[in-house]
Amino acid sequence: MAAKGAYHTRQQEELLKYLKATPGEHHTVAQIRDHFSLQQRAIGTTTIYRQLERFVEEGTVRKYLLETGDSACYEYVEHAPACSGHFHCKCEQCGRLIHLDCDELQELRDHLLGEHGFAWDAGRTVFYGVCRECRAD
């Protein structure tokens, strides 16, 4: 019997290869399914969900839950530190998720903790608006 994590399928390897080839990009399950479908290498939606959750548990992929009702998105990170140290902005036009390191927001986070006893989880906080590229269009 194989040790946990030692069993790899062709579909799992293809999915991981695709994610590694798109570092810093965020993908929904539907986008991943459509990518493989266009390549005529169909991978079932359930298989994609199952493999992504396995990668999340292993620390290879990070999962983002952005809004109630929205699909989760996934990013290849391979054991990168958690996203708790920076903030996130989501463009409401193109859907891009931006990782934001900002001293001013960190000051606000420190203020909330020191003055109000509230520990703001920056990694789970998402600011919504329109990104620079979409505003330029």
Q: Map tokens 């019997």 to a residue.
A: 1
Q: Stretch 80-101: mean pLDDT, rounded? A: 74
Q: pTM score > 0.75 for this model?
A: no
d(C-alpha 32, C-alpha 15), whole Å: 8
All residues at 6 or more sequence positions from 32 whose CB lies less than 8 Å from its CB, including other chains: 15, 18, 43, 48, 52, 74
Percent of the chain with pLDDT over 70: 83
Q: How confident is the model at residue 82 (pLDDT cuts 50, 70, 90)?
A: low
- What type of residue is 4? K
Q: Token pair of 126, please?
A: 């998402």
Domains and CATH numbers, the chain: 10-76 (1.10.10.10), 83-136 (3.30.1490.190)
CA-CA-CA-CA torsion sign (41, 46, 49, 52): negative
